[in-house]
Amino acid sequence: MLSYGRLAAFGAVLLSALLFACIETSAQQIPKDIAARTEIYAIPSLTISDHQFLTGDSNGKPVTVGGEFKIAQGTGRLPVVVLMHGSSGVGAGMDGWVRHFNAMGISTFVIDGFSGRGLTATGPNQALLGRLNFIVDIYHSLEILAKHPRVDPERIVLMGFSRGGQATLYASLDRFNKFWNKSGVQFAAYIPFYPDCSTSYLADTEVAARPIRIFHGTPDDYNPVASCKAYVTRLQEAKRDVVLTEYPDSAHGFDAGLIGNNTVVEATGSQTVRRCTIKEAEGGVLMNASTQAPFSYKDVCVELGPHVGGNPATALEARKAVSDFLQALFKLG
C-alpha cells in the first residue's frame, strides 16, 4: 500500500505528464495561419529624393521605419515573403496575405514605410515621398533578414502592391542593387501587384537573374497595365524571366477581394500618372517625355480620381497563382 507521501508524489508526476500532454496537444491545434512568433523591428533607413536614389547619394535624412516579422510554424530556417504596402499604408488586406503565407509555412516581413516618416498616405500628394524611396527600406530589411537564424537567405521573396509594387519591380534592377543593397544576398523572386510602369530608367532591362511575376488588372486606371506590358516586352526581348498575368474586370487593388471587398469606387483626390511618360535622363533626373522638362506632380499629365476596389474571384485566382509559384520556388512539401 502506498504511503501518503508516495501517493502525493505519484499524483504530482501524473499531473505534470497530463499538463505537458495538454500543452503539446494545444500547440498542435494552433491554426496553421497563426504565426509561431512575432518580432517587431526598427529598421534604420533614409528619406531621399529620387535624384539622390538614382545617383547613389546617401546624404539623406536618417529615418527609422518599422517591420513586423511573423515566423511561421515550423523548424529551422524558413522561407520569407517581404511585403511592401502601397500609397494608403499597411491596410487590412495585408493581413490576409500574411495569414495565407504563414499557413503555407512561409514567414512574412511587413514593412511600414510611412509611420516612421510621419505619413499615413501619399495618394493625394505623391510628392510627399520619392517614388523610389521604398526600395531603400526594402534593402535595409533584407540586411536584417539575411542574418536572422530562422531565415533561409536563399529563399526570400519580395512582394508589393501599387506604390509598393513599383518598388518591388524596380528593386530587381542590377544598378539599384549595386547602389543600395548591402545585405550580401538577393531576393529569390519579385512579385509586383498592379505596379506603375510609366517610368523608364537607364539600364532598366539589366535585372537580377531571378523570376519576376507581375499581376495586374485590365481596367486599372490608377496604374494602367499598358505601360507594364510595354516594359515586360522589353524585358522579355532581353531574355529576362518575367511574366505578366492580367485579369479582366479587376480594378486597382483587386486583391482586396480576399477580405470580401467587391465594390469599385473612385479614389477621390488621389493622384495618378496614367497620362504621363517619365524617363530618366543622364545625371539621375526624371524627365517628363512630353514637356522635356523635369517631371513634377504639378504637371498637366497628372490626373485625379482613379478607381480602386476588390474582385473576390480574380483575387482568389491571383492568390492561387502566387501560392503555386512559391510552392515550386521554395520546394515546399
CA torsion sign for 42, 47, 53, 57 is negative
Asked if the structure places residue 86 within a domain, the reply is: yes
CA-based nearest residue to 166, from 216, 218, 206 = 216
| pLDDT tens-place values along the chain, 333 residues long | 444 344 344 343 333 333 333 333 344 578 999 999 999 999 999 999 999 999 999 999 999 999 999 999 999 999 999 999 999 999 999 999 999 999 999 999 999 999 999 999 999 999 999 999 999 999 999 999 999 999 999 999 999 999 999 999 999 999 999 999 999 999 999 999 999 999 999 999 999 999 999 999 999 999 999 999 999 999 999 999 999 999 999 999 999 999 999 999 999 999 999 999 999 999 999 999 999 999 999 999 999 999 999 999 999 999 999 999 999 999 997
For the chain, first and last CA: distance in Å? 54
Which cell goes with 19?
Answer: 499538463
Query: What number of other Cβ atoms are within 10 A of residue 84's Cβ?
Result: 30
Asked if the structure places residue 306 within a domain, the reply is: yes
**Three-state SS annotation for the chain:** CCCHHHHHHHHHHHHHHHHHHHHHHHHHCCCCCCCCEEEEEEEEEEECCHHHHHHCCCCCEEEEEEEEEEECCCCCCEEEEEEECECCECCHHHHHHHHHHHHCCCEEEEEECCHHHCCCCCCCCHHHCCCCHHHHHHHHHHHHHHCCCCEEEEEEEEEEECHHHHHHHHCCEHHHHHHHCCCCCCCCEEEEECCCCCEECCCCCCECCCCEEEEEECCCCCCCHHHHHHHHHHHHHCCCCEEEEEECCCCECHHHHHHCCCCEEECCCCEECCCCCEEEECCCEEEECCCCEECCCCCCCCEECCEEECCHHHHHHHHHHHHHHHHHHCCCC
Which cell goes with 233?
Answer: 516586352
CATH number assigned to the domain comprising residue 267: 3.40.50.1820
Asked if the structure places residue 286 within a domain, the reply is: yes
Domain that residue 54 falls in: 33-329
**Pairing between β-strand 61-71 and β-strand 107-112 as defined by DSSP bridges:** antiparallel
Quote the number of domains for the chain.
Answer: 1
Asked if the structure places residue 21 within a domain, the reply is: no
Asked if the structure places residue 4 within a domain, the reply is: no
Asked if the structure places residue 238 within a domain, the reply is: yes
Asked if the structure places residue 310 within a domain, the reply is: yes
Asked if the structure places residue 188 within a domain, the reply is: yes
Indicate whether this model's pTM tops 0.75: yes
